[in-house]
Structure 1
Amino acid sequence: MDKVAVLIPCYNESKTIEKVVTDFKNSLKDCVVYVYDNNSTDDTAAIAEKAGAVVRHEYQQGKGNVVRRMFQEIEAECYIIVDGDDTYPAEYAAEMVDKVLNRQTDMVVGDRLSSTYFQENKRPFHNFGNSLVRFCINKIFKCDIKDIMTGYRAFSYRFIKTFPVLSRGFEIETEMTIHAISMNMSVENVIIEYRDRPEGSESKLNTFSDGMRVLKTILNLFRNYRPLQFFSLVAAILLIIDLVVFISQVWLPFRETHVVEKFPTLIVCGFVGLSALLSFFSGMILDSLWQKERREFEFRLKQAMRYGKKTK
């Protein structure tokens, strides 16, 4: 088992990968740097290997697929995951590692948004999207994560080995955050400086399509991790619509004429009311199953910790 593993998922980062590998090897003397090449069409893999990284490959396209492969294959006491585009300074890695190894923190978030991100990043929709995602998750899950979508994080062994990677693309960061919050894992923030990509290096993010995928991921994880709140909200919306239509279209005319003039509307209102009731009880059932999953997860955490101690 490595003491510290630096994991770098890469796709066409030949202009920056050498500097990233070198910076982290200099900043963390006892680390092993792993570069996972994701079907690059340039010399990313060769340059990384020449710089001293252990190079491996993931042939399913998408950052989530790369992270899944990395988390399955690498054994370490502490993991640093960072992008290969040289936007995250390596000098903050030692502080992040210290929090994992000495404070037993499960996930350390490299917080860009509290420092230079909004000044350095030249894409205004990315700025808005990061702020929106942070607001939504902190409100829905009642937490205080400063940067949801940062690509610079540190993890404990038990987080890595119990985290089920379901996302395929850039929404993986959102999934990591929500998993840590929902499973009551220890999370800390470290404010880092962010620098925009150097000239000639291009982002792989598509502002709108990737943004929509992230918002869809938040909605799905809200449903999966907070089923009672999610389905209660659905039930409340259905019930409000049902009452508004029933009162305006059925009840008020009935008071004047003492005749139900719109039987189809009355029938539809009945079915919508039943749907609201079913949604609420579905949430209650799923919440019971979720509590059972939480208990089973605690046992998996203990097993992961026992296995980790044996392999040190």
Structure 2
Amino acid sequence: MEDIKKTAILIPCYNESKTIEKVIKDHQAVMPHAEIYVYDNNSSDGTDEIARNAGAIVRYEYRQGKGNVVRSMFRDIDADCYIMTDGDDTYPAEFALELEKQIYSERADMVIGDRLSSTYFTENKRPFHNIGNVLVRKLINVLFKAEVKDIMTGSRGFTKAFVKSFPVTSKGFEIETEMTIFALDNNFKIVEVPIDYRDRPEGSESKLNTYTDGYKVLRTIGTLFRDTKPYLFFSIISLMLLLIGGAFFVPILINYFETGTVAKYPTLIVITAMWIIAIISFFSGVILQVLKKQHRHNFERYLNMLNEIWRKEG
């Protein structure tokens, strides 16, 4: 008897009463075999009741923030394929089938619904969001030597191994960035599928704040860069400290050759302290890189253990 695969559609929601019914109905029509989960995040407009009446399984996450919702979804739901979408009707449901196909064909551990290669820049009416998406994409691709086209899309597909091994630490909208960096750092298979994007319908407002959430995303990138590439991160800090110290030291050295005396002793003391910190920073990076490599080995063993358990169960 052939195993029946279970697909779960995950929809995090916060005040999406104007669009959630359509999102659910569209996915039911395209993927009648899938279970649809709506996680309500303290909505005050009846989103949960509308979703329940539309046929979705409704659950609640009372800690505010999309990252908190995704954490609960990934912990609670057991499936073979996970399709995540937004409740604002910006991602057409028919593209979910292609995400599912990539997962079940074992071509990807995470499938990214790539908006930026299709209609995003013409449909999205928020220019700073467009600039932010491009900036984050270029920054991550440079830091991680990748070629990901859409870092912050909310349309994604995942395998069970990815979902159950992903340690969610973000609380808000920076969760998509964290997912992408986690996949890149741990060598998960990533496939991007171009999808259409349509702007929110009239009366539906975005919960994303361009400036505060943009700052959180950039902070997350910096933190994850430090944690995933400590040798490079601390080497850059060391180099900057050495160069700054050198810029102040050269005039003192020139003055010494000209006069035979050392001027600006306080500056010299500060320069010495900076160079000591630079050396400490460099060797901290070396030590942390060794620990990171050991963590990577342990993570691979953990994935192998999970796969072996699921193979025996299935």
* Structure 1 and Structure 2 fold alike (TM over 0.5): yes
Question: What's the C-alpha RMSD, in Å, of the aligned pairs?
Answer: 1.0
In structure 2, the residue matched to 1:290 is 292
Q: Partners of 2:307 and 2:9 in 1: how far apart?
A: 20
Q: Within 2, Cα distance between the matches of 1:56 and 1:2?
A: 22
Give the equivalent residue in structure 1 for 2:142: 139
The residue that corresponds to 1:74 in the other structure is 77
Cα displacement (A) at 1:104: 4.0
Specify every segment of 5 or more residues in structure 2 that has no aligned partner in the other structure, as ranges: none
How many residues matched? 311
Deviations 1:196-248, CA, capped at 9 Å, x for gaps = 00000000011000000000000000000000000000001001001111002
Letter paired with 2:311: K
The one-letter code matched in structure 2 to 1:228 is: Y
CA-CA distance at 1:308 after TM superposition: 3.0
Aligned to 1:99: 102
Distance 1:30 1:291 in 2: 41
Structure 1 residue corresponding to 2:29, chosen from 10, 26, 32: 26
Q: Given the alignment, which residue of 168, 178, 181 partners 1:178? A: 181
Contact 1:2 1:32 in 2 (8 A): no
Change in CA separation of 1:125 and 1:11 when aligned onto 2, cut-off 3 Å: same
Q: Quote the offset at 1:112 in angstroms.
A: 0.4
Contact 2:107 2:191 in 1 (8 A): no
Q: Which of 283, 302, 305 lines up with 1:303 in the alignment?
A: 305
Matched, 1:162 2:179: no
**CA-CA distance at 1:262 after TM superposition:** 1.3
Find 1:238's aligned residue among 237, 241, 247. 241
Q: TM-score when scaled to structure 1?
A: 0.98
Q: Give runs of ≥4 in structure 1 deviating > 4 Å.
A: none
- Of 238, 252, 255, the match for 1:253: 255
Q: Establish whether residue 14 from structure 1 lines up as the match of residue 12 from structure 2.
A: no
Tell me, yes or no, if the aligned pair for 2:90 and 2:197 is still in contact at 8 Å. yes
Q: CA deviation at 1:307?
A: 3.2
Q: Does 1:87 align with 2:119?
A: no
Please show how residues 216-231 of structure 1 align to structure 2 within 5 Å: 216-231=219-234
Matching residue's letter, 1:61: Q
Separation in structure 2 between the aligned mates of residue 246 and residue 61 of structure 1, nearest angstrom: 51
Q: Which amino acid aligns with 2:42?
A: N
Are 1:198 and 2:201 an aligned pair?
yes
SS of the residue 1:14 aligns to: coil
Q: Aligned to 1:76, what secondary structure does the other structure show?
A: coil
Q: 2:192 — aligned with what?
A: 189
Contact between 2:119 and 2:196, CA under 8 Å: does it hold in 1?
Answer: yes
Identity %: 55
